[in-house]
A and B are shown apart, each in its own frame.
Chain A
Amino acid sequence: RKEVEQDPGPFNVPEGATVAFNCTYSNSASQSFFWYRQDCRKEPKLLMSVYSSGNEDGRFTAQLNRASQYISLLIRDSKLSDSATYLCVVNMGGNKLVFGAGTILRVKS
């Protein structure tokens, strides 16, 4: 089993749609969690951290479910500019950050 797994997609959604991605992790002792966004041929950039109580940043909501060992990202009112690859990142402890392979989102008009 991979340490961090994501559905690769692509998720093809119309503008204005709500879309959600999940990311599962194998290490129950994982300490912190993040979502990154990566545009084509660019470096990944931090989208948001994921807190135990869940957190929201505008149209984006992140959730953590420790019991089931997954994190989620919800995007409401999708924009064309949301098209990108979304990477989940899990801090497994110490210096070990593990990246998922990413989920491709395509928002279409």
Chain B
Amino acid sequence: SQTIHQWPATLVQPVGSPLSLECTVEGTSNPNLYWYRQAAGRGLQLLFYSVGIGQISSEVPQNLSASRPQDRQFILSSKKLLLSDSGFYLCAWRLPGNTIYFGEGSWLTVV
């Protein structure tokens, strides 16, 4: 069966510091991978998605970036965090035509 792992689960970072969130999927090949963010009391915002190694589509221009160095690995990064980057970050995977499955999420607080 397929599983998705995301880490770290919680982090508190100062403004201006870098960020790296990592996500891996097991039990499937060539999945579509996604990064979403959910701000407090708000809906899910799609940040990036990837249909293959090295292929990244950005939905929202901001100070975040994503990379997919391996088929089942997806990384969300920032060089300098802003206060507005605080939120709940969710990695997800999906096979084309199917529904989407989420990792357990990473809570980021920028202070």
Contact = CB atoms under 8 A, between A and B. Distances in A.
Interface of A: 32, 34, 41-46, 49, 87, 89, 95, 97-102
Q: What 7 pairs across the A-B complex have the smallest Cβ distances?
A: A101-B43, A43-B102, A99-B44, A43-B105, A43-B104, A99-B43, A34-B99
A49 B97 CA distance: 12
Of the candidates B36, B51, B88, B102, the one having the most CB atoms from chain A within 10 angstroms of its own CB is: B102
19 contacts: A32-B99, A34-B99, A43-B90, A43-B102, A43-B103, A43-B104, A44-B90, A45-B102, A46-B100, A46-B101, A49-B99, A89-B99, A95-B32, A95-B51, A95-B96, A97-B94, A98-B46, A99-B44, A102-B43
B55 to A, nearest CB: 11
B49 interface: yes
Contact of B99 (A43, A46, A87, A95): A46
Interface of B: 32, 34, 36, 42-44, 46, 49, 51, 57, 88, 90, 94, 96, 99-105, 107
Tell me if B's interface is mostly helix, strand, loop or mixed: strand
Contacts, number: 41
A44 B32 contact: no
Of the candidates B32, B46, B99, the one having the most CB atoms from chain A within 10 angstroms of its own CB is: B99
A44 B38 CA distance: 11
A81 to B, nearest CB: 20
Nearest to B102: A43
B44 A44 contact: yes
Given A32-B99, A89-B99, 7 more contacts: A43-B104, A46-B101, A95-B49, A95-B51, A95-B94, A100-B43, A102-B43
A73 B45 CA distance: 22
